[in-house]
Structure 1
Amino acid sequence: MNWEILLAPYRQAVNELKVKLKGMRSQFEHESQHSPIEFVTGRVKPIRSIMEKANRKNIPSNQIENEIQDIAGLRVVCQFVGDIYSVVDMLKHRNDFNIIEEKDYITRKKESGYRSYHVIIEYPVETIHGEKKLTAEIQIRTLAMNFWATNEHSLNYKYSGQIPRNIESRLRRAAEAAFQLDEEMSKIRSEIQEAQRIFKKKQDTN
């Protein structure tokens, strides 16, 4: 398998989608509205991770593109939980890709405590051989959810997916604490947004 040829369209998709999602953020800023998007990141899954996932799920090499939906991955990070659903709604109204699956791990968190909203899209990429439709995963989460998930991912890597029980229980408690933080911040959302508008206006006049 030639990985460079296989992954090139996915790299293109990540680059294009990052520009489009960041463009959404810029439009809100230009219109002096609160942007539900704090920042956007993207990556193509490393070859080693693709192979490990294929082995774990018994996916033959010729079915990797059909069976692994997150070779191309985007992450949209928001300030508030409500912003997540605003972003999802905006994604649903775009006509440059199709949403083929949604996974709401916020209202139905994972056993580990993981919370995020996953959207699987079918995205058309223009290649030298014509249009290629591929799948990409967009994860939408708050800053607190992202902090927790990043640390949980590091621990999973360190312990090869077998995190010690005492650390697992601490992680679950930390996940609940992070969600409590999100809920408390949502209660004073209007105050925070007004303060941010005042600060931005002051910066713009200096």
Structure 2
Amino acid sequence: METHTQEEVSQWVSLITYYKFALDEMDTKLTILNEEFQHVHDHNPIEHLKSRVKSMESIQRKLERKGLEVTAEHAEQHIHDIAGVRVTCSFESDIYKLVNILCNQDDVHVQEVKDYIQHPKSNGYKSLHLIVQVPVFLSTEKKLMNVEIQIRTVAMDFWASLEHKIYYKFDKTVPKHLTDELKEAADLANYLDKKMEGIRTKMDKYKESAPLLDELFEHGENSE
């Protein structure tokens, strides 16, 4: 890793601080949306929320892999996942509700969408990835900063975590029988998501019809 002047280090520190502010902004937005859902719909779409800002060393290694000069300016221009949020939802339908609401906020500017739920990767990976820009208000200016958001269900997240550990353990050279089992596990995770979604739909329909059934039952008792 090459050395940097004091001015360059200051630029890096400032840049990473701006991304930290952007992450704070996004965390707040998601927390508010989750609490609003609980208040209005009696349901929390978000099970877990995890955020991180890449270290300066990690960003610099990624620039080197891309064959780019290692500068803070190039990092801001070419590395879009410096600030990242991983959102784990209860149900697949919650993912799309959350994305729709979030992207309709007038200070969230969508830069890129990759839907690996509708179009999974060949290994079975499923998740919805967004690159958005959010404003960071500083004492002297407003900056638009990129934040990557990955949204997935609990089953998708469990699978992705296992897949990451296996590829790390085997240094990305995973035996075929394990990749086959991972793909099978991805299919099972997808089946579980669909099954749970179906149960939830039936439960919601029951909750909608229950007050009407109670009313009809009470009316029948009163008419006797």
TM range (shorter): 0.7 to 0.9
In structure 2, distance between residues paired with 1:29 and 1:115: 26
How many residues are treated as equivalent by the alignment? Answer: 196
In structure 2, distance between residues paired with 1:47 and 1:35: 35
Instruction: Report deviation, 1:100.
Output: 1.2
User: Is the aligned partner of 1:37 residue 2:51?
Assistant: no
Instruction: Report deviation, 1:194.
Output: 8.3
Which residue matches 1:121? 132
**Runs of 4+ in structure 1 over 4 Å off:** 191-196
1:140 to 140, 148, 151: 151
Task: Tell me the percent identity.
Answer: 39
In structure 1, distance between residues paired with 2:37 and 2:158: 24
Structure 1 residues 128, 103: CA separation in 2 closer, same or farther (over 3 Å shift)?
same
Point out where structure 2 has 5 or more consecutive residues left out of the alignment: 1-7, 208-224
| TM-score, scaled relative to structure 1 | 0.85
Point out where structure 1 has 5 or more consecutive residues left out of the alignment: 197-206
Which residue matches 1:203? none
Instruction: Report deviation, 1:24.
Output: 0.5
Which residue matches 1:54? 63
Q: 1:26-76: per-residue Cα shift (whole Å, max 9, x none)?
A: 111122432322232211123343233223222322312111111001122
In structure 2, distance between residues paired with 1:103 and 1:190: 26
CA RMSD in angstroms comes to: 2.2
Which residue matches 1:78? 89
Q: Is the 8 A contact 1:77 1:143 kept in 2?
A: yes
Structure 1 residues 49, 179: CA separation in 2 closer, same or farther (over 3 Å shift)?
farther
Instruction: Report deviation, 1:191.
Output: 4.5
Structure 1 residues 122, 190: CA separation in 2 closer, same or farther (over 3 Å shift)?
same
Q: Which entry has the higher C-alpha Rg, 1 or 2? A: 2
| TM-score, scaled relative to structure 2 | 0.79
Q: Is the 8 A contact 2:64 2:70 kept in 1?
A: no
